[in-house]
């Protein structure tokens, strides 16, 4: 009689663990193929939280009008600093999301690990881009008609100190979010951009305000500016000489796109600074600036992150006309926008009533948010797909290039759309 092989019977604990692992992997695959109910719910919750925190940041910005008028050029740095934080840490979250999908993500403090090399790279990028933004603001502001701008040393202190303070908080938040996503089986692509944007909004503005306090101390800004430039130069030299290959790769790929998008961010700030008098007269409209830019940028970030992961895993191809799976993501992103933008307008009016800010009225705020934000969101969808697709075709990492391209373009387009909408409504 022939004996049939008997499969070894696993202990109950091992069988349960294996079952949970299969369910978790299946959920990740479903999330990756399209925006299911869980992914939509996660995105909406994250976008709602982003709106709340962006309105808080906008209220903080509206309360800073005296500081903005005292330091010409500070408002130029606001969308630039917020946008650059989103660029750097949105791309970090996107790279970590891809590693989670690929099963290579591990939390570790060892310098050679994927996580720590990404942290080192983000630190250098934060400092280098902050110095670059200060220089760009000083050069571009007069070209676009802003002659009254504080000294370059003041801009360096404002930008770099604000960036370093934000770096500490955003690094902790992004890593905690990635670890939680890996543990719970969440799709990090669905929540990374809105939550990083939300935290970046809330952290960056107070960081800039703290940095502005240093400008009142005699001689300190000039000394501190020289130290910051020196530290930046040493950091860039170290990053070129280090044996940590991922650090070098991220910096080589990131710096060109971040410096390019930095120009767009500074121009966006100049566009808003031109309307400072209108914003001061109706400070409730100033609340909408970070709120609308955060919503459009977050939706663009969600699209960029999801599409990047699909491109990496070969689920979709970078075609001229988006395929079915890519169109599903794009339509879902646009569907998120309108209710969140209406919420932004309502929250801005509530905040203006609570804090006693001047307001053009609830209807005007909702229209400004809906029209300007929708224009920015459509732009985000187009750039989210084609920017990521072009990165794939060029043979570079779409996680590194897609997110900065989307958020920076959306910041400039969103700022212009808000200013145009305000003009159309006769409020400028």
The pLDDT tens digits of the residues spanning 12-53 come to 444 455 545 444 544 444 444 445 566 667 677 777 777 788
pTM greater than 0.75: no
Asked whether residue 324 is domain-assigned, the answer is: yes
User: pLDDT at position 232, please?
Assistant: 94
Asked whether residue 363 is domain-assigned, the answer is: yes
Instruction: For residue 95, give both structure tokens.
Output: 């790279």
Banded model confidence at residue 7, pLDDT cuts 50, 70, 90 = very low
What percent of the chain is predicted at pLDDT more than 70?
Answer: 86
Banded model confidence at residue 308, pLDDT cuts 50, 70, 90 = confident
User: pLDDT at position 45, please?
Assistant: 75
The answer, yes or no, to whether residue 81 has pLDDT greater than 60, is: yes
Mean predicted confidence (pLDDT) in 363-390: 84
Asked whether residue 22 is domain-assigned, the answer is: no
Q: How far apart are the first and last CA of the chain?
A: 93
In total, how many domains does the chain have?
1
Banded model confidence at residue 109, pLDDT cuts 50, 70, 90 = confident
Banded model confidence at residue 163, pLDDT cuts 50, 70, 90 = very high
Asked whether residue 94 is domain-assigned, the answer is: yes
Residue with tokens 């903080």: 60
User: pLDDT at position 51, please?
Assistant: 77
Asked whether residue 298 is domain-assigned, the answer is: yes
Asked whether residue 9 is domain-assigned, the answer is: no
Q: What phi, psi does 89 have (nearest 5°)?
A: -85, -25
- For the stretch 42-58, pLDDT in tens is 677 777 777 788 788 88
Domain hosting 113: range is 36-424
Nearest to 80 by CA among 264, 235, 243: 264
User: pLDDT at position 40, please?
Assistant: 67
Mean predicted confidence (pLDDT) in 53-68: 83
Residue with tokens 């720590």: 116
Banded model confidence at residue 167, pLDDT cuts 50, 70, 90 = very high
- For the stretch 257-271, pLDDT in tens is 888 888 888 988 888
Mean pLDDT estimate for the chain: 80
Burial class of 4 by CB neighbour count within 10 A (0 to 12, 13 to 18, 19+): exposed
Asked whether residue 13 is domain-assigned, the answer is: no
Angle CA(9)–CA(12)–CA(14) in degrees, nearest 5?
85
The answer, yes or no, to whether residue 137 has pLDDT greater than 80, is: yes
Identify which has the larger pLDDT, 16 or 158. 158
Asked whether residue 170 is domain-assigned, the answer is: yes
């Amino acid at each position: 009689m022939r004996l049939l092989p008997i499969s070894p019977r696993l202990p109950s604990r091992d069988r349960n663990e294996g079952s949970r692992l299969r369910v978790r992997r299946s959920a990740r695959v479903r999330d990756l193929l399209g925006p299911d109910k869980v992914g939509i719910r996660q995105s909406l919750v994250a976008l709602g939280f982003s709106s709340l925190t962006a309105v808080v940041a906008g209220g903080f910005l509206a309360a800073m009008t005296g500081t903005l008028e005292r330091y010409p050029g500070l408002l130029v740095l606001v969308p630039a600093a917020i946008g650059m934080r989103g660029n750097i840490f949105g791309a970090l979250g996107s790279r970590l999301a891809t590693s989670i999908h690929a099963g290579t993500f591990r939390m570790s403090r060892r310098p050679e690990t994927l996580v720590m090399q990404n942290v080192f790279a983000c630190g250098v990028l934060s400092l280098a881009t902050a110095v670059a933004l200060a220089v760009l603001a000083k050069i571009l502001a007069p070209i676009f008609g802003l002659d009254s701008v504080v000294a370059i040393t003041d801009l360096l202190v404002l930008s770099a100190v604000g960036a370093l303070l934000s770096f500490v908080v955003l690094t902790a938040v992004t890593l905690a979010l990635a670890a939680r996503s890996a543990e719970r089986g969440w799709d990090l692509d669905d929540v990374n951009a809105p939550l990083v944007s939300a935290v970046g909004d809330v952290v960056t503005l107070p960081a800039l305000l703290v940095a502005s306090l240093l400008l009142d101390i005699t001689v300190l800004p000039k000394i501190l500016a020289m130290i910051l430039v020196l530290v930046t130069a040493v950091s860039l030299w170290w990053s070129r000489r280090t044996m940590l290959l991922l650090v070098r790769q991220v910096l080589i790929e990131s710096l060109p796109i971040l410096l390019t998008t930095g120009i767009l961010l500074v121009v966006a700030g100049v566009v808003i600074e031109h309307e400072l008098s209108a914003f001061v007269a109706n400070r409730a409209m100033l609340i909408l600036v970070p709120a609308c830019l955060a919503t459009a940028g977050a939706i663009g970030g969600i699209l960029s992150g999801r599409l990047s992961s699909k491109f990496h895993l070969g689920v979709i191809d970078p075609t001229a006309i988006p395929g079915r799976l890519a169109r599903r993501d794009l339509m879902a992103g646009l569907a998120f926008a309108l209710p969140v933008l209406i919420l932004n307008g309502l929250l801005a009016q509530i905040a203006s009533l609570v804090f006693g800010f001047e307001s053009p009225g609830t209807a005007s705020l909702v229209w400004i948010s809906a029209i300007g934000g929708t224009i920015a969101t459509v732009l985000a969808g187009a750039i989210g797909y084609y920017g990521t697709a072009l990165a794939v075709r060029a043979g570079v990492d779409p996680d590194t290039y897609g997110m900065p391209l989307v958020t920076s373009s959306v910041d400039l387009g969103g700022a212009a759309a808000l200013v145009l909408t305000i003009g159309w409504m006769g409020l400028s």
